[in-house]
Structure 1
Amino acid sequence: MIRAVLLDILGVIYDADTPIAGAVAAVERLRRAGLPLRFVSNTTRTPREAMIEQLAALGIEVTDAELLTPARAAVEWLRRHECRPHLLVHPDLEAEFSGLEGGNGCAVVVGDAGDAFDYAGLNRAFRELVAGADFVALATNRTFKDADGLFSLDAGAFVAALEFASRRPPVVLGKPSPDFFLSALADVNCPAADAVMVGDDAESDVAGALRAGLGAALLVRTGKYRPGDETRFDPPPTAIVHDLAAAADWILNRAAA
């Protein structure tokens, strides 16, 4: 039986600033059923406060504890390892790392930097890695669906370039890291086997969740989904559903009474 639900945001609840049809009502139905919800996003361009405000504008109230982002995980990792960050992230995200300048070591932190992904920035990060800095990737997604409706390069390609050049594998803190999924369940008193993930990325959301031990992972045909995604990665989705509304139907039919 399902006792907790993890939801991706971009591509599942909204695209750009537009809610996906039926998504807001689906979230409300899951809440009314008493299921703990956690919103787990790999978005690394938007600060968490802005994400919470955007969801609220759509009619979905999300508490700070209910939203998990790679940036929050990175801040905790940097504090735990007493590292100051060398940031290669989107300028809008830099404020989330304030107050961490005094660490004993250094860690290169890479997210989706957008236009900040230029040669000079990548080379500075590379030189820090060669000099011995730790290597932290907020996420390794290949692509994302941009505001114009087309696919754009995500952080994964740039993380791979730095890994290739430096011969240093990164610590990945967002999806598909098993720790990221499990940390979402840490305060809901739910074993991974009783939780379900809903996402539009068959690799990071779905296969990642199943490898982390979640009992089910649903792939929606919205957002970045493309026909055939369900067969491209292993393990495959537990089910493929049209959208979050259909996912809610699937979940509620299997939820604990």
Structure 2
Amino acid sequence: MISGVLLDLAGVIYDGEDLIAGATAAVARLHEAGLPIRFVSNTTRSNKQAILNRLERFGLSVASNELFTPAQAARDWLGRNERSPHLLVHPDLAPDFHDLAGGKGKALVVGDAGEVFDYRTLNAAFRQLIEGANFLALAPNRTFKDADGKLSLDAGAFVAALEFASQRRAIVLGKPSPEFFLSALASMHCPKTEAVMVGDDAETDVAGALRAGLSHALLVRTGKYRRGDEKRFRSQPTATVNDISAAVDWIVATRSV
């Protein structure tokens, strides 16, 4: 049985500045079927409002509480633990942290900083860690599909470098953290045993969701997908489908089984 759906955004709903064919109709079909949806994105180059605005331009009206981002998870963590952030993130993400200050200590927050990643910024982050700051990784993705259609380095390589240098393990807040998936499911009162995840990343989206206990995870052949991804990781997809439209076909056909 399926009673809730988690959807990735980049590579599933849109690809850069282009809507993936059939995505709006596919989301509408899930709504018509009475299935609640949460959008779970590891995007850390855009703040939450910018993502919501992009979805609106694509004709998808998504409420703030329907979109889960690693930056939101980081804000919650910082508040609960009374830490102020040292940010190593893309400038466009900084607004999501603008009103956080004070606290009992520091936490390094690392996202996909893009061109901001250089020796100076990485060394400053390293020094925060050896001085005792907590270590938060918004996402550990290896790659993302860049504007030129090719894969580029994502934040995971830089997180790994800081882990190696500092001999500290980062707390991962976005996918594939089980807590990230489960918090999205909790917001729509959906048991993990009745949930399905749809993503284009076989590692963070699919294997991560299955390790978190979700019953189903579908891999789409859009976005960053490359041939053979479905067999690269130990937790393999429930099904591999062409795109979001085919994923919704599968969900609707399977929901009562």
After TM superposition, the score normalised by the length of structure 1 is 0.99
Structure 2 residue 10 is matched with structure 1 residue 10? yes
SS of the counterpart of 2:186? coil
Amino acid at match of 2:192: A
Distance in 2 between residues matched to 1:193 and 1:222, nearest whole Å: 26
Distance in 1 between residues matched to 2:39 and 2:189, nearest whole Å: 16
SS of the counterpart of 1:218? strand
Superposition map of 1:131-142 within 5 A: 131-142=131-142
Distance in 1 between residues matched to 2:219 and 2:89, nearest whole Å: 28
* Partner of residue 245, structure 1: 245
Distance in 2 between residues matched to 1:4 and 1:250, nearest whole Å: 14
Superposition map of 1:136-175 within 5 A: 136-175=136-175
* Partner of residue 76, structure 2: 76
Deviations 1:162-221 (A, max 9, x none): 000000000000000000000001121211010000000000000000000001000000
Unmatched runs of 5 consecutive residues or more in structure 2: none
Distance in 2 between residues matched to 1:114 and 1:139, nearest whole Å: 14
* Partner of residue 201, structure 2: 201
Superposition map of 1:115-126 within 5 A: 115-126=115-126
Report how many residues are paired. Answer: 257
Runs of 4+ off more than 3 Å? none
Distance in 2 between residues matched to 1:30 and 1:80, nearest whole Å: 34
Distance in 2 between residues matched to 1:84 and 1:158, nearest whole Å: 21
Distance in 2 between residues matched to 1:191 and 1:256, nearest whole Å: 15
Distance in 1 between residues matched to 2:129 and 2:208, nearest whole Å: 27
Q: CA deviation at 1:234?
A: 1.5
Amino acid at match of 1:203: E
Deviations 1:29-84 (A, max 9, x none): 01111100000000000111111111111111100000000000000000000000
Amino acid at match of 1:31: H
Distance in 2 between residues matched to 1:190 and 1:13, nearest whole Å: 22
Q: CA deviation at 1:256?
A: 4.1
Distance in 2 between residues matched to 1:256 and 1:56, nearest whole Å: 31
Distance in 2 between residues matched to 1:46 and 1:256, nearest whole Å: 37
* Partner of residue 21, structure 2: 21
After TM superposition, the score normalised by the length of structure 2 is 0.99
Amino acid at match of 2:176: P
SS of the counterpart of 2:2? coil
Distance in 1 between residues matched to 2:249 and 2:22, nearest whole Å: 12
Distance in 2 between residues matched to 1:231 and 1:150, nearest whole Å: 21
Distance in 1 between residues matched to 2:12 and 2:116, nearest whole Å: 27
Deviations 1:90-143 (A, max 9, x none): 001111112211111100000000000010000000000001100000000000
* Partner of residue 192, structure 2: 192
Distance in 2 between residues matched to 1:57 and 1:255, nearest whole Å: 30
Amino acid at match of 2:143: T
* Partner of residue 127, structure 1: 127
Distance in 2 between residues matched to 1:161 and 1:239, nearest whole Å: 34
* Partner of residue 35, structure 1: 35
* Partner of residue 107, structure 1: 107
Distance in 2 between residues matched to 1:47 and 1:189, nearest whole Å: 26
Amino acid at match of 2:42: N
Structure 2 residue 62 is matched with structure 1 residue 88? no
Amino acid at match of 1:19: L
* Partner of residue 50, structure 1: 50
Unmatched runs of 5 consecutive residues or more in structure 1: none
* Partner of residue 178, structure 1: 178
SS of the counterpart of 1:74? helix
SS of the counterpart of 1:35? coil
Amino-acid identity (%):
65
Distance in 2 between residues matched to 1:151 and 1:24, nearest whole Å: 25
